[in-house]
Amino acid sequence: MYSCELPWQSRINPLDFSVYDNIYFICAKCYFSIKLYLSSVYRACNMKRKLKVITLATVYNRKSLTLQCLTSLLHSCKIAEVESTHFVVDDNSTDGTSEAIARLFPEVCLLRGTGSLYWAGGMRFGFNHLSNIEYDYLLAYNDDCVFAPNCLELLLGGFDSSSDRIGIVVGSLAQPDSKTVSYGGRRARWRSNWLPPSFSLINPADFNYVPIDTFNMNICCISNELIRSIGFLSDRFKHSAADYDYGMRANNAGFKTVLAPGIVGSCQSNSTLGTSKEKSIHPFVRIRRVFSVKEYPFSSILFYFRSHGGYLWPLWLLVFYITRIFKF
């Protein structure tokens, strides 16, 4: 476990606020705790069985991070008192990840990839093994996260937070050494069929579930109803952009995506080393990286802009690649 204080473990100093601020904060926190508890009681009273949750992740050569993530995930599932089944796709790791998972987490169903699945391909590979399993929710996550004990409780509570048809509840993750959000919910910067899709990362509310337009699939809970309606990640994506596409497809199908309150875990932002964003690299190296499988392969990005780029999608596709190659 981390030796430093995790974001959700931070404590507010009462001396930093007025008496009225403290009273408001305490009342709001009590209200949210009661609401979350009543929500869980409501689900328990209206169901004769525990909720069935399937967890799914793709891993590759991050053994220590993967083991730490699984430890926190299984603890969160235990706290939420759900019936959970765990699937992990190991895309041919060479650092002993599979062996360690099999030894330390025998309850995890380990699926072995070919080494060429990448993230979205690995998630689809794992999802294809769920066809004969009954479940209520699919918890999709990345293995470089550490989750708070109440993470799953918060995510499941989102499905009862509104009368709308909620298909996805997303969690916000923070940098391990700060409260800065690294991954989570995304909100559209504008809504126009004449402009390209563009999203900004938003901070979660303290106590409420808020609507969002799409998300990073570092941690999210997806309803079985949504999956039966639109399926899972599109096979037009092998690595990145598959989660953005899925969030927009869900909204287009009439399902709402909401962001859970607070920080549900920690996750370090991806390093720019070895990517097209790395400084002082040769232009030809940058071009090769931009079009690589792990960044912006042309066939995937073409499909993305044709699907979500509006009336002028060919123009925005061209602008997209120009800005990434020349770093505007």
- Write out pLDDT tens, residues 119-178: 999 999 999 999 889 999 999 999 999 999 999 999 999 999 888 899 999 999 999 988
Could you tell me the CATH number of the domain that includes residue 116? 3.90.550.60
pLDDT for the residue numbered 5: 41
Q: Is residue 160 part of a domain?
A: yes
Q: 290: domain range?
A: 283-325
Q: Which whole-number Å values give the CA distances from 313 to 148, 186, 194, 303, in the listed order?
A: 40, 21, 8, 10
Residue at 15 is within a domain: no
Mean pLDDT of the chain: 89
283 or 43: which leads in pLDDT: 283
Whether residue 46 is predicted with pLDDT greater than 60 in this model: the reply is: no
Residue 12: band (very low, low, confident or very high) from pLDDT cuts 50, 70, 90 = very low
pLDDT for the residue 19: 52
pLDDT at residue 32, as a whole number: 56
Residues 300 and 190 placed together within one structural domain of the fold? no
Residues 203-213 have pLDDT tens digits of 999 999 999 99
How far apart CA 181 and CA 265 sit, in angstroms, is 10
Q: How many domains does the chain have?
A: 2
Tell me, what amino acid is at 284? F
Write the DSSP symbol of residue 62.
Answer: -
For the stretch 187-205, pLDDT in tens is 999 999 999 999 999 999 9
pLDDT score recorded for residue 30: 57
Element (H, E) at 28: helix 19-45
